[in-house]
Amino acid sequence: MAAAGADSLVLTHLPNIFYLSGFTGSNAILLILGDVMHLFTDGRYTIQAHEEVRQAQVHIVRTSLAEACGGFCRSRSRRKRVRLGFESASLKVAEWTRLKKAAGPGIQWIATTDLIETIREVKSAEELDIMRQAARIASEVVAEASEFVRPGVAELEVAAEIEYRLRRKGASGASFETIVASGPRSALPHAHPTEKLLQKNELVVLDLGAILRHYCSDLTRTVYLGRAPARIRQWYEAVEQAQEAAHDALRAGVTAGSIDRAARRLLHKHGLGSYFVHGTGHGLGIEIHEGPRVGRAQKRRIRAGNVVTLEPGIYVEGVGGIRIEDEVAVHAGGTEVLTTAPRGLLEL
């Protein structure tokens, strides 16, 4: 906050509010004034807020949260001017307008970005423990793929089965819309599952994750229905090697970009570089996509406590796609792969 020039901070991004206060409701503003946190929420969350929130004063409000929070700031800014940071990536213009009106003239507004997100990138031992379990749930489900991935089943059915099994194993839900992409559709990195039936002799990309105690996991495996032809095997091995190269490059202190380039170099060597159309990975935690981003031009340094995915893939229009994604935690002395599902090409 000091570096951003703010002495106080109004938070509107719910994952940040959860991170700092423990509150999981869907309507809240968190105000950090001096060294006291104030949580504003509405009457639906009276009991929940008092149960969950430990380190903030809870204000149950009847007006809009922005008005209540703004009014509170006004009462505090009478004696001294408040330099109030706000989250420019999440605060909507309409809400900001209401806040400003209610807060009055004694406030200097300071746009900030990623203040809390940067802290969230470094996971505590407790967070890592939850993330390990969330990764294990996803790994277990994908290891059961032979029970429900077969020709004649619709992509949507497979997705439903995956999400059902995630919940059966203790997840509160899927950490994003499960991707089941078969045949030529597997060349779409972010395909939505459709009514298309899986067929023999095609690739199927399964990308899934669990939410456990508010933390996400993320895992991709690629299946071939039948015996894979030589070309598919070669591609698969290239992607596997690219992931290994990224993993070898991953450690505390290196730039995120160098990890991406390690994977990319490998695919280029196999003549597949132009089919790798996205970044190598991303951080995750309370949200499915967090920092650090593992992309080509990222100069940010990897820190101990980061958890990132390594997910190189190739996408060939008209043929299909192959992606292998694992979650890796970075420790001071090495790395730890959190996703435990077998990594080889699964032929079903």
Report the nearest approach of Zn ion to the CB of residue 328 (Å): 12
Piece of 186-194, 218-226, 233-241, 246-254 that binds Zn ion (CB under 5 A): 218-226
Residue pair 140/115 in contact by the 8 Å Cβ criterion? no
206 close to 149: Cβ distance less than 8 angstroms: yes
Nearer to Zn ion, 84 or 308 (CB): 308
**Site stretch for Zn ion (CB under 5 A), options 60-68, 144-152, 197-205, 322-330:** 322-330
Kindly indicate which of the ranges 65-73, 85-93, 147-155, 318-326 contains the residues binding Zn ion, using the contact rule CB under 5 A: 318-326
Rounded least distance, CB 220 to Zn ion, Å: 5
Tell me: does residue 290 bind Zn ion (CB under 5 A): no
Q: Which stretch binds Zn ion (CB under 5 A): 84-92, 112-120, 156-164, 304-312?
A: 304-312
- Residue 77 as a binder of Zn ion (CB under 5 A): the answer is no
Smaller CB distance to Zn ion: residue 163 or 325? 325
Residue closer to Zn ion by CB (options 161, 218) is: 218
Gap between the Cα atoms of 171 and 134, Å rounded: 7
End-to-end CA distance of the chain: 53
Tokens of 83: 């330099």
Rule CB under 5 A: is residue 218 a binding residue for Zn ion? yes
Closest approach, Cβ 309 to Zn ion, in A, equals 4
Q: Which is nearer to Zn ion, 21 or 222 (CB)?
A: 222
Alpha-carbon gap, residue 337 to 348, rounded angstroms: 25
| Residue closest to 243 by CA, chosen among 187, 182, 185, 294 | 294
Instruction: Assign 239 to helix, strand or coil.
Output: helix
Residue 87 vs 290, nearer CB to Zn ion: 290
List the one residue from 298, 309, 335, 339 that touches Zn ion (CB under 5 A). 309
Query: Minimum distance between the CB of residue 47 and Zn ion, rounded to whole angstroms?
Result: 35
d(CA 247, CA 110): 39
In the complex, the smallest distance separating the C-beta of residue 327 from Zn ion, rounded to whole angstroms, is 8
Q: Least Å distance between CB 78 and Zn ion?
A: 48
Which range touches Zn ion (CB under 5 A), out of 122-130, 191-199, 319-327, 331-339? 319-327
* C-beta of residue 196 within 8 angstroms of C-beta of residue 182: yes
Q: Which of 87, 207, 260, 290 binds Zn ion (CB under 5 A)?
A: 207
Here the tokens at position 142 are: 């994908």
- Does 7 bind Zn ion (CB under 5 A)? Our answer is no
DSSP track, 277-339: -S-SEEE-SSSSSEEEEE-TT--PBP-TT-EEEE--EEEETTTEEEE-BEEEEEETTEEEE--
d(CA 58, CA 274): 53
Phi and psi (nearest 5°) for 40? Answer: -105, 125
Query: What residues make contact with Zn ion under the rule CB under 5 A?
Result: 207, 218, 220, 309, 325
